Structure 1
């Protein structure tokens, strides 16, 4: 073997060794938890589905009207199934629900303008009927008598409200590092900040009611947050990314508190979820390719279509 051949072989072995070391030091998420490759525009397209869900749920629950009534020409699609006025008897809470729903319309418009999406934007079929929200608890084999109705009172509705913001907060936290373009990053960061604040307000409202019963049942609001956290973690997969209002001391901020108004990781950083984790949860099927639940016919957009085509459950 010539000296040149030896040198080439040595270099090849060195490259292979370094590649192995690099791979050994990179902890990749399990296949279940890896994001599906998407462009900035596709990620925003995906988020629009969640913004539409939040706007329709909030506005119809307190005003009895939807996006098309308030901002004609922005979206086009079927009216939600089963949406109804919620019995929210606290004016402060009702006004914030309205404000947050109206803000979602602004977010949809900003996304359309920034990403040059053609309006009216397609509106997915939503099912906002009480049995769908009750189905979340059924994933834990928990049933209530009478059946759970999220529109029944303020305490019941706050659970739907907090998750509408949480889905968006989790998704934007996941996509922010991959957003390309300064204006687009600013838009995503601005929406993420708003949704984090909205989530915080709703969690605070729940915390204020922590020891009150969720009528007509005997369990408290705090008990219910533990149940809903279990549901979200089970459906989404990929570990604990939701928590109740109270946690064991070892899981509290700096291991010094059991209060847990804002769910966050061991360093009190916001959790993030991929598109597939979000789909598994809102579909209530635990499968990103099997629509159901809040979105009986699935999402609109090419990212969702790619997830289906690749069978990325």
Structure 2
């Protein structure tokens, strides 16, 4: 076989494995049967009622703020060993504590600098959104970012096949684990802001959301690129990133014949290249998950909550938000 034929054959086998994994994910995530701590489960959430209230711009920004609390706490702990300051946690709703979180055992100078930069941006996002929301800002909800056997990271990693059913996944253990933990969040943030943008009526708020979307897209590119590059020497990194992507696709309901592979992994793909010499095919990286028009896809707020709650069913809590998020937008859908 030529190199191209070998790559195409490998990609065909990858598609077959993806379909098999998604059938497993449907069962694993189906009714939220992922345990986190003793008798608690990631899917013990009650079924959510349909939201009928009119959604306002502050509602959308507060929904985004919940996600920023999660990302900021993860990166701040990983980069510095400390979480958000107390004055960045208050607001409407029930203020919750962070379970887990520790300084990551990073040794690669490049990954260390990535972690520091992204942490600073995410903390700044929290502060900025809070400043825009003023008196309507919601408090940080309870967050689970533990790296032990009972943590949300482990539950997600087990269901995705990144670790075995009796193994723990600790995103703070080393450079590779940190990047995989970050990858679980980053693409979700980008698609969340893109999905929320059409719902915003205020030009000022839309401009702010667009600015944060751009920053989150840069972050996602950094993480995807780092995993891709390190995956040259450690192919398991790319494979595990693909597994996480497939799990997200299944959780939010975008996997399937009618939707295609919206949440794409990072393994190389064969893509047509048009040039003055005619159309050719060549392997390419997959840093940017786009459609045929080169456009990134969107997620609805409910789909985002399916992922962070680690539950394909309609729910109001679970996973990384064990008691749910604060604000008006807080229910996922089946």
- TM-score, normalization by structure 2: 0.72
Verify: 1:289 aligned to 2:289, yes or no: no
Task: Choose the corresponding residue for 1:133, options 137, 153, 168.
Answer: 153
**Equivalence for 1:11:** none
Query: What does residue range 15-26 of structure 1 map to in structure 2 within 5 Å?
Result: none
Q: Is the 8 A contact 1:50 1:167 kept in 2?
A: no
SS of 2:264's partner is coil
Q: 1:53 and 2:70 equivalent?
A: yes
Q: Deviations over 1:120-179 (max 9, x none)?
A: x41111111123212113334664264332222101110111232222211111111221
Alignment check: 8 A CA contact 1:67 1:105 kept? yes
- Kindly report which structure 2 residues correspond to 1:188-227, keeping only aligned pairs within 5 A, or say none: 188-213=209-234, 220-227=236-243
Deviates more, 1:186-195 or 1:175-184: 175-184
Alpha-carbon shift at residue 211 of structure 1 (Å): 2.6
Aligned to 1:123: 140
Match for residue 84 of structure 2?
Answer: 67
Are the structure 2 counterparts of residues 149 and 191 from structure 1 closer, same or farther at C-alpha, using a change threshold of 3 Å? same
Cα distance in 2 for partners of 1:205, 1:141 equals 21
Consecutive unaligned residues in structure 2, runs of 5 or more:
1-49, 256-260
Q: 1:274 aligns with which of 293, 297, 300?
A: 300
- In the TM superposition, what whole-angstrom CA distance separates every residue of 1:180-207 from its partner, at most 9, and x where no partner exists? 1221111011011111111111111111
Matching of residue 184 in structure 1 with residue 184 in structure 2: no
Q: Which has the larger radius of gyration?
A: 1
Residue 3 of structure 1 corresponds to which residue in structure 2? none
- Tell me: CA distance 1:256–1:53, structure 2 relative to 1, closer, same or farther (3 Å): same
Q: Cα RMSD between the aligned structures?
A: 2.6
Q: Alpha carbons of 1:43 and 1:86: their partners in 2 closer, same or farther (altered >3 Å)?
A: same
In 2, Cα distance between equivalents of 1:51 and 1:251: 37
Counterpart in 2 of 1:300? 326
Tell me the equivalent position of 2:111.
Answer: 93
- CA drift at 1:258: 4.0
Secondary structure (helix, strand or coil) at the match of 1:81 reads strand
Whether the 8 Å contact between 1:283 and 1:292 is mirrored in structure 2 is yes
CA change 1:252–1:162 in 2 (3 A) is farther
Matches of 1:251 and 1:135, distance apart in 2 = 38
Q: What residue number does 1:8 align with?
A: none
| 1:290–1:182 CA distance, 2 compared to 1 (3 A) | closer
Deviation for aligned residue 1:220? 1.4
Task: Choose between structure 1 and 2: higher helix proportion.
Answer: 1
Q: Distance in 2 between matches of 1:284 and 1:116?
A: 31
* Residues in 2 aligned to 1:297 and 1:252: alpha-carbon distance in whole angstroms: 48
Deviations 1:201-259 (A, max 9, x none): 1111111111333xxxxx61111111111111111112333111125426999975442
Per-residue deviation, residues 98-120 of structure 1 (Å, max 9, x unmatched) = 2212222222222222233446x
Relative to structure 1, the CA distance from residue 88 to residue 141 in structure 2 (aligned partners, 3 Å threshold; closer, same or farther) is closer
Judged with a 3 Å threshold, the aligned counterparts in structure 2 of structure 1 residues 193 and 153 are, in CA distance, closer, same or farther, namely same
The residue number in structure 2 matching 1:230 is: 246
Helix, strand or coil at the partner of 1:111: helix
Instruction: Tell me the residue number matched to 2:188.
Output: 167
Q: Does 1:83 align with 2:123?
A: no
After superposition, the C-alpha distances for 1:272-306 in whole angstroms (9 at most, x for unaligned) are: 111111111111122341522111111110121xx
CA contact (8 A) 1:241 1:272 kept: no
Identify which range, 89-98 or 240-249, moves more after superposition: 240-249
